[in-house]
Structure 1
Amino acid sequence: MAYDSTDLRSTLPSSTATATAPAPERFSGSEHVKFRDLAPAEKTGEVSTWYARGQNFVVGYSEVDGTATFSRTGQPDEYVVLLADDALAARVEAPGEEVAASGRTMLVVPPGDSTVTVTGQGRVLRLLTTRSDDVAALAANAGSYAEPHENIPPFRPWPEPVGGYRVRSYDLTVPPLSNPPFRLYRCTTFMVNFIDAKQGPRDPAKLSPHKHDDFEQCSIVLAGEYVHHIRWPWTTNRAHWREDEHETVLAPAVTVIPPPSLHTSEAVGAGTNHLIDVFSPPRFDFSAMEGWVFNADDYPAPAGR
C-alpha cells in the first residue's frame, strides 16, 4: 500500500487474507462500462437507465428529468438508492411505512415489496446484489460474469440492522472524514463511499496505489474524466500475466477493479471530477476503524472480525 503518512488509510490493519490462503495464480480482468458510449438499457420519456455489474452487485444508473418509479416485488435483500443531485426528491413506500427524502441522500430499501418514486432532475443510482436476477441480466457486461471471477469468496450478507429491516435515509452532505475525505455508510449488502466532487486534475505526485486481496472495488465516475491505473501480480506462470492498464473513462461510467490488482484512480479532467466507490458486501477493514462508518450503530459488523 502506498499512502501518505497523513492519510488515515495508512493506519488500516494489515489484511490476513494472504496469511491464511495460498497466493493466487490466476487473475480476472477489470470491467470498464462506459455508459456514454452505450444506448440505455431502459428508456421512457423522462428516464434513461444503464446497468453494469460485478460479481456480487449490479449498478443501475438513471438520468431523470421529471418522474421515475422503481418498483421491486419480492426483493430478496436490502438494496440502496442514491440521489446524487440536490434537485431530486424521493418517496419510498414499503409495507407499513413511507419515507420522503430530498437532495443528496442514500436510501436503504428493505427486502420484499417496495416502490421508490423520484422527482426532479438529476442522477439516481440503484445498487442491488446479483440475487436480483432480472436486474443482473440487464447489465451491459453481463456476459463477463457467465463464469465467476477469480479470487472472490462467496457473497455473504452482513447481520440484520438494529431494530429490523425498514427504510433508512442518510444525508450525503454531512462533513466527511478529514484525510481522506471519505463519507462511508453501509447496510447488510453494500458499503458506499460518497466522496465529494473535486475541481481540476489530481496531483500526479500524490496518487495512492493499493490492492485488495479478496473483493472487487466498484468505482463510479459521475462527472469529469479519470484514468484508472491497474497492475496485476506476476506469477511463475507467464501465461497468467496481464498487461498494465491505464484506462481513460469519462462520466458516466462504472469500473470494476479485481483483486488482488494494484490500482489507483487519477482525476485528469480540467473541470469538475466526481468518483464514488461501492463495495459488496461491506469492507471489514474500513468497518474496523472507529468512527469511519457513519451509520455503524444501525448496522453491526459480523462477530469475530
Structure 2
Amino acid sequence: MFDDSDPRKALLRTAPAEATATGPFCLPQVGRFHEDPPLATGTGWRAWMLGASRMVLRVVELDGTAEFARSGQLDEYMVFALEPSVRFTITTGAGAVEDHPGNHLFIVPPGDSRVTLQGRGTVTFVFTARSADLVAQCPPAARPAAPNPCIPPFQPWPDPPGGFRLRAYDLDVPVQEGRFGRIFRCTTLMVNILPRFTAPRDAAKVSPHFHASFEQVSLTLAGEFEHFLRWPWTPDQAHWLPDLRIACSSPSATVLPPPALHTTLWLSPESQIVDIFAPPRMDFSQRAGWVLNAEDYPMARTEIE
C-alpha cells in the first residue's frame, strides 16, 4: 500500500499479513527520551537506552565531552551524529580516528573500542541484542516483554572482505530520485538516515505497510511524529490487539514489531527520522544503488528478514 511517490513501491511484495499471521502478537516499545529521565549522566551529557528484539539503542544528548568504551565486544556496532560540530575520537584494535567531524556514520569492529565525543548534538549508538550487558541496562518498559514469535533467530551477514576494521561514511549524500534515503549496512545492522523533511507529511500520501518477520526501529531526531499501528485479526480473538496511535517528540525511538501494519506522519516543518534494522534487510540490499557501502559488505546468500 505504498504511495506512488514512495521508492519502496518497487520492492517485492509478500503475502498479506492476514494470510500468514497466527498470533499472539507483540506490542511496540517506545522511548520518549525528550521527557523520560536519562539512564546515565555525566558532565556535559545525558544518555537513554531502548531495547528491541534484535538491537539496543543508546541515544546521547551531548553538550561537552563524553566517553564510552566496549571491552570484548562480540560483533560490529554503529555510531553516528548528524551535526558536523560533534567531534569523534575512536580507538579500536583495527583502526582509529581522531577529532573526526560529525555528519558521519562509523562502523566499529568487534573487540575493544573507545569512543570519545566532544561538542554539542545528538549521538546514537546501535548494538545488537547479543550484547547482554546493554540489554540489561534498558528499562523494563523499554525492552520486549516476551520474545516475538514472528522474528526468527538472529543471523549475522557475511564478514567483510579483508576483515573487520573501523569505517567512516560521510552522510553528506545528495538525494537521488528512485533511491530511498541514505542506507548503510554491516554484518549485523542496517541504518537508513532519511533526508530531513522540510514540511509536514501529506496525509493523502502515506504508505501503510508491514514486515512479516523483522522489526523496525524508528528513531526521531527532530520534529513531532505520529506512528499508526494495526494488527491482523486471526481466528483466535484472544490475539486481537487494538489499533495504536503513538505521538512522540524528539528525540525518541519506537519499535515497530511484525506483523503490525504501520505508517508514520511527521507533523513539523523540520523533521528527521532514522530507520534501523538488525540484521540488514535483504529487500533493500537487492535494490541497485540503495545501500551506499554495499561494496564493503557482501550480501547474505539467502533472504534473512
1:263 Cα offset (Å): 0.5
Question: What are the superposed Cα offsets for residues 125-174 of structure 1, whole Å, 9 maximum, x if unpaired?
Answer: 00011111221112134674353123111111111112110000111111
Q: 1:290 maps to what in 2?
A: 288
Match of 2:272 in 1: 274
8 Å contact kept, 2:31–2:142: no
Q: Corresponding residue for 1:136?
A: 135
State the match for 2:240 in structure 1. 241
1:250-265 counterparts in 2 under 5 A? Answer: 250-265=249-264
> What is residue 39 of structure 1 aligned with on the other side?
37
- State whether residues 52 and 141 of structure 1, in contact with CA within 8 Å, keep that contact through their aligned partners in structure 2: no
Q: Distance in 2 between matches of 1:22 and 1:204?
A: 28
TM-superposed deviation, 1:239? 1.2
Residues 104 and 142 (structure 1), Cα distance of their counterparts in 2 relative to 1, 3 Å cut: same
Aligned: 1:192 with 2:191: yes
Equivalent residue, structure 2, for 1:79: 77
AA paired with 2:254?
A: T
* Structure 2 unmatched runs, 5+: none
Secondary structure (helix, strand or coil) at the match of 1:36 reads: coil
Are residues 1:14 and 2:26 paired? no
**Residue 227 of structure 1 corresponds to which residue in structure 2?**
226
Percent of aligned pairs with the same residue?
A: 41
Q: CA–CA distance in 1 between the matches of 2:94 and 2:301?
A: 31
1 CA distance for matches of 2:37 and 2:232?
A: 35
Which range moves more in the overlay, 214-223 or 197-206?
197-206
Note closer, same or farther for the CA distance 1:143–1:81 as it changes in structure 2 (3 Å cut).
closer
CA distance in 1 between partners of 2:186 and 2:16 (Å): 23
CA distance in 2, matches of 1:243, 1:289: 34
Alpha-carbon separation, structure 2, partners of 1:143 and 1:59: 10
Distance 1:75 1:8 in 2: 36
Partner of residue 28, structure 2: 30
> Secondary structure of the equivalent of 1:178?
coil
Structure 1 residues 256 and 230, CA gap change in structure 2 (3 angstroms): same
Deviation at 1:16, TM superposition (A): 7.2
- Aligned equivalents of 1:190 and 1:61: distance in 2? 16
Distance 2:116 2:136 in 1: 23
- Classify the secondary structure of the residue corresponding to 1:145: coil
Deviation string, structure 1 residues 15-53 (Cα, Å, up to 9, x no partner): 3798xx953232111111111221111101111000001
Q: Which residue of 2 aligns with 1:170?
A: 169
Q: For structure 1, which runs of at least 5 residues remain unmatched after alignment?
A: none
Structure 2 CA distance, aligned partners of 1:189 and 1:38?
28
Match of 1:94 in 2: 92
Alignment-derived partner of residue 150 in structure 1: 149
Amino acid at match of 1:196: P
The alpha-carbon distance between structure 1 residues 238 and 253, as it changes in their structure 2 partners (threshold 3 A), is same
Aligned to 2:284, the other structure's residue is in SS state helix
Q: Is the 8 A contact 1:186 1:299 kept in 2?
A: yes
Alpha-carbon distance, 1:237 to partner: 1.2
Aligned 8 A contact 1:232 1:243 in 2: yes
Which aligned pairs between 1:40-59 and structure 2 lie closer than 5 A?
Answer: 40-59=38-57
Q: TM-score, normalised by structure 2?
A: 0.93
Task: Classify the secondary structure of the residue corresponding to 1:277.
Answer: strand
In 2: Cα distance, 1:93 partner to 1:170 partner: 16
User: What SS class does the counterpart of residue 37 from structure 1 fall into?
Assistant: coil
- 8 A Cα contact 1:202 1:267, kept in partner: yes
Counterparts in 2 of 1:202 and 1:143: CA distance versus 1, 3 Å: closer
What's the TM-score once normalised by structure 1's chain length?
0.93
Contact 2:69-2:115 at 8 Å conserved across structures? yes
* Pairs aligned (count): 301
Task: Give distance in 1, aligned partners of 2:129 and 2:94.
Answer: 27
Do 2:219 and 2:252's aligned partners in 1 also have CA atoms closer than 8 Å? yes
In structure 2, relative to structure 1, the CA distance for the partners of 1:17 and 1:132 (3 Å cut) is farther
Where does residue 61 of structure 2 map in the other structure? 63
Contact kept? 2:29, 2:142, Cα under 8 Å: no
Change (3 A) 1:17 1:294: farther
1:137 aligned counterpart, secondary structure: helix
Letter matched to residue 159 of structure 2? E
How far, CA to CA, are the matches of 2:79 and 2:137 in structure 1? 17
Give 1:264 shift. 0.5
Answer yes or no: is 1:106 the counterpart of 2:105: yes
Q: What amino acid is the match of 1:156? A: Q
The answer (yes or no) to whether the contact 2:71–2:111 under 8 Å persists in 1 is yes
